[in-house]
Amino acid sequence: MKLLIAFPALALSLNQCSAFTVPINVRQETSLSKWKLSASVENEQNMFFATDEKTSDSLIDEAEQRRVLGSQENLMLPRQYGVNPDVEFPQMNHVSAVVLSATPSAEVLKQAIDDAMQAHPLLRCHVEGDGEPEERIDLSQMVRKGDPNPCTFVSSKRTFTSADVLKLVDVEGTTKADIDKSWRADFNRDLDDGHYWCDPSSGPLWKIELHRLNKGTDKDAPCALLFTFNHCISDQSSVNILTDQIISNMAAIEENGKILKPAVSQSMPISVEDTVMGLGHRFSDTAFSDFDLNTVTYVAGKAAEGLRSPVILPDMETEKKGNGVLGAISIIGGKTAGGDNEASYERTSTLQFRNLSKEATSALLAKCRENGVTVTNALSAALTLTATDFIGNGLSRGKDKKRNYKVLQSLNMRRFGEQLDKCETVACHAGSMDLMHGPFSDHSGESLRTDPTDDKRAKFWELAREGKDQTAKFVENDGPKNAVRVFDFAMTISDMNNLVHLTALSKDTQGRAYSAGISNVGVYERQQAVRREGDDERDTIQIKHGRYNIDDMYFAVSNARTGCLYQISCMTVDGEMKIVSHPATPVVSEQTNEQFADAFVDLVEVMAGTKEKVTDVDDSASISGGDSSGITSVVTENGLVLVASVFGLGAIASHAPAFYDFYQSVMQMKENIADPQDFWAALNFWIFFAVGHPILQPVLWISDVLHGSPGPKLADLVPYTYLLGNAVAIGAIAMSKQIRNAVNIAAVAAFFAYVGAGLDGQAGLGDFNLALDDTYKGQIVRGCPTYEEVRQPSMDNFDLDKYQGKWYEQKFHDWTQFKEVYDTTLDIKLTPDGKGWIDDFGVKGPAPDSAKLSWDKSPVANGAHYFLFGRVDDKDPAGVLRESGFGVEFPNYIVDVQKDPTTGEYTEAIQFQCLERGGVRVFEGINFMSRNPTMTDEEIAAMHARAEKAGMYPYGASPEQMHTVARRPVDAAPEDNAWQQMWHNIGFDRLLELLTESIEDGGR
């Protein structure tokens, strides 16, 4: 095994995070008790009870309930990043407001809330544990190992009451408009700012405000209840249950003096990961055993979405936007893409509230049924087209510019997968999927609103059906499970919250990842209410309880730090659709958001048929996309990207069977290995060398281009034409997004295609045969042979002392070596105690035939040394050495030796290394060695014959499976040219010597 080159494996996944502060309007406020910024939590030792997180059943009593947070909950909490303790990640906030026709007394509301808090464990919880891993194992401090102190929900009935969460806000004024102004200001503040009221370590993780007129003395006056949650404990579906419970409790208390049927106390809800994937199927439980071909397909599909280059920023911001691939690499490396943008801390939500009338809502539903789509499908289509009107920032009118759009469509994950959670308690089981639409001309929505011809209407419904089809395909292909599984994997092994933080700071993206987002909760009254004591069935939610009628209801989740460029959240209550448009400003200005909300509602009304058309804007665009016009647009504007994508995906797909076989072998290996560390050590060994070969190829190509460039040279080293060519290439890549994307796509595709070629044997059987348990003459050869199966009679009376000394490598079958090196030697020495051995592996490179123009300019053209270490085990038969590296140890069999008939010294040797784990052969290495620098063809043929007799051909010893080491004359003079002088002057040769000495000393 020869350790020559390394490359880190990279992964990235992003989601949403909340923002910081916004200005707070000043009003007269009073509270029922001192507003608690933190709350002490009793540690009642005698009442401790830990709920098993792998079961949904709990003992519901006065004891504590505990559950480790799931991955999505850790993102929203959020789990902090101990590497940078000076930076506190803000929580993601979820706000819901309900306007009522009457006002309760403070005492009635307190009782109603207390009943709700007793029923729902997360309403009375705090979070213990810092979530720090045992260690971070990568250079960028992003990859986690272990979770010894996980963030954990802790809930006890005795911890919190309504006094800890309720705040009264007395509003100056006498009308509903005054109430609206008050709660909307706090809605805007709380959506982006949770630090002033929520400390997760002490709790609670929610609060509620009562906005009332005349200090609540006028019970018939309207009021508003404003709920604010740390999003890790809530989604709107469960908040609807809570809202209905509190309102019905108020009505019951006023009518009967008490709640006749209290809500059933619920157990700690399971996480969304358990809900969708099933109990015991988190990545921490199963690792990769649940990953299958559908998971791989899902990940590949997500990667392919980027090939369409969806727009995520308006035009003036787009000019600043960097490349997604390079940006991702920057973030993985712990840096923001394009550098830090301090203004990101100033981003806040800008809000617009709208109502779609009962008439329009009903008409829209009828149109959706007529066209075979859901209301959500129609809303996502309307949102996409409305986005086309604003993406140009007024700069693209008349230019017929076309763009692709990526829309985040929210989902209630309780409806998918194992469906274990029945939405009986407050919890967060929200999720999402991506819709890809386009290309569309700028101002397509405006064109439809102002001139809704039959053809344009038809294309709108085609777009809605496209969204329906994408959603159906996502569900049919187990997309919800795979989405949760992949995110759980990423969150478990990496510090995703830091990646989100870096994305939020990025100048290139302004924290935006989507063109637009739609969250439609559906019809409020169709949900089931909380379970009440004594009832066999759950009632449905009502819009009226006693004297309380719901007049308005709105919700939103923070989108300011990271998320979508445009965001719409809506819900239908009492036949009216309640809409909130809440993008981030200054990315989207308040004025633009107001216009956007109006345009969105106008378009929905036009398509519902309740508004004929809009006449106050110019008609200057046409709807395009979906069929031939869309294809033409992609070819015209993204031709290079499309070509690179087609050829790249085609190249990768040509090796698909080999990738699948590799995956199956890895799963078999994992299943058969008891110790996960042993599995990962073997897999990391494979990954290390698998990525090294494709990285070396462009380095050699660039070197030959450098030294083959004509003309005069700078300092007799670099041709000016090479520098000029680089300047042109870098300028083109920097200035053209299309070229930049095409180059990155081609590079990534070439990398994976090269690895695929190694897996199916097309990239060189001698030095890059990466297949696990590969085939020989059409038969799969599994595992490694024993030493006795390959040992030859020449090994009788083998003397390890005589085996020491310098050997010249003649041929090899070994993908830890590179075919581009030459003059390789192995100088083997035993340690003084005879229990260890050191292999001084000498190498030069690249070989003259591998890099005809640059080989003699290489920093290792005159040689470099690498040291391998191993041990001699007394229990092994003579001729077996133990070799180690990368956390794995495997035998190095000396299969055959030839002796000098006169001296008895060993003159030729055949070595065979083989690494097997879980019944799968991960690596095999074969070396033909001689004491002489060169061998005749007859001598080489004889070595092959002995290897065949030993049964080594199936493992790679046949002539076509071995690489011949290039050699220059032993007495060839050292290379001496301007480049070698430069390496010497900067001390590179001395650095190699120091490195060699350090490695040698460390191995003794």
Q: Is the pLDDT of residue 827 over 60?
A: yes
Mean pLDDT of 376-381: 97
CA distance 116 to 109: 11
For position 6, what pLDDT does the model report?
A: 26
Please state the length of the chain. 1004
When mean pLDDT is compared across 111-120, 411-420, 885-894, 956-965, the lowest value belongs to 885-894
Of the given ranges (283-292, 373-382, 888-897), which has the lowest mean pLDDT? 283-292
Q: How confident is the model at residue 87 (pLDDT cuts 50, 70, 90)?
A: confident
Residue 426 pLDDT greater than 60, yes or no: yes
Q: How much of the chain, in percent, has pLDDT values that exceed 70? A: 86
pLDDT surpassing 50 at residue 813:
yes
Residue 22 has pLDDT above 90, yes or no: no
pLDDT of residue 53: 38
The torsion defined by the Cα of 435, 436, 441 and 442, in degrees rounded to 10, comes to 50
Which letter does DSSP use for residue 18 in this model? -
Q: Give start and end residues of each alpha helix (H) in 709-760.
A: 720-735, 737-759
* pLDDT value of residue 302: 75
Mean pLDDT of the region 651-669: 86
Q: Where are the alpha helices (DSSP H) in 404-506?
A: 444-450, 454-476, 479-493, 496-505
pLDDT digits (tens, 9 = 90+) for 759-809: 887 777 777 888 888 888 888 888 999 999 999 999 999 999 999 999 999
Q: Using the predicted structure, report yes or no on whether residue 102 has a pLDDT greater than 50.
A: yes
Confidence of residue 3 (pLDDT cuts 50, 70, 90): very low
**pLDDT tens per residue across span 733-762:** 777 777 777 888 888 888 888 888 888 877
What pLDDT does residue 993 have? 67
**Structure-block tokens of residue 319:** 């000019």
Torsion of CA 247, 249, 251, 253, to 10 degrees: -150
- pLDDT of 637: 53
The C-alpha atoms of residue 723 and residue 734 are separated, in whole angstroms, by 16
Which H/E stretch holds residue 682?
helix 676-708
pLDDT tens per residue across span 580-632:
999 999 999 999 999 999 999 999 999 999 998 887 654 433 344 433 333 33
Is pLDDT at 83 greater than 80 in this prediction? yes
For residue 327, pLDDT beyond 60: no
Residue 436, pLDDT > 50, answer: yes
What is the spatial distance between Cα 565 and Cα 517, in angstroms, rounded to a whole number? 8
pLDDT of residue 599: 96
Judge whether residue 674 has pLDDT over 70: yes
Q: Write down the pLDDT at residue 984.
A: 84
Residues 6+ away with beta carbon under 8 Å from 146: 133, 134, 135
Q: What is the mean pLDDT of the chain?
A: 84
Percent of the chain with pLDDT over 90: 55
Name the pLDDT band for 393 (thresholds 50, 70, 90): confident
Confidence of residue 701 (pLDDT cuts 50, 70, 90): confident
User: Residue 84, SS3?
Assistant: coil
The total of other beta-carbon atoms located within 10 Å of residue 17's CB is: 27
Q: Which of 168-172, 298-302, 362-366, 676-680 has the lowest mean pLDDT?
A: 298-302
pLDDT digits (tens, 9 = 90+) for 719-740: 888 888 888 888 777 777 777 7
Q: Count Cβ atoms within 10 A of the Cβ of residue 804 and give its class: 0-12 exposed, 13-18 middle, 19 or more buried.
A: middle
352 pLDDT higher than 80: yes
DSSP states along 915-963: EEETTEEEEEEEEEEESSS---HHHHHHHHHHHHHTT-GGGTTSGGG-E
Q: What is the DSSP string of 421-432?
A: --S-S----EEE
Residues 6 or more apart whose CB falls under 8 angstroms from that of 101 comprise: 222, 547, 548, 549, 550, 551
Q: How far is CA 482 from CA 272, 296, 477, 505, 871, in A?
A: 13, 9, 9, 29, 45
Q: What is the predicted pLDDT for the residue at 869?
A: 83
- Decide if 18 contacts 192 (C-beta within 8 A): yes
- Between CA 544 and CA 574 the distance in angstroms is 10
Which tens digits make up the pLDDT trace of 511-543? 899 999 999 999 999 999 999 999 999 999 999
290-304, 695-709, 770-784, 985-999: least confident range: 985-999
Q: How far is CA 439 from CA 392, 446, 745, in A?
A: 14, 16, 20
Per-residue pLDDT, 293: 76
The Cα–Cα gap between 695 and 64 comes to: 54
Res 485 pLDDT > 90: yes
Give pLDDT tens digits for 207-266: 999 999 999 999 999 999 999 999 999 999 999 999 999 999 999 999 999 999 999 999
Whole-number pLDDT of residue 830:
92
Give per-residue burial for 451-469: e unless 16+ CB within 10 Å, then b.
ebeeebbebbbebbbbbbe
Q: Quote the pLDDT of residue 357.
A: 97
The pLDDT of residue 287: 82
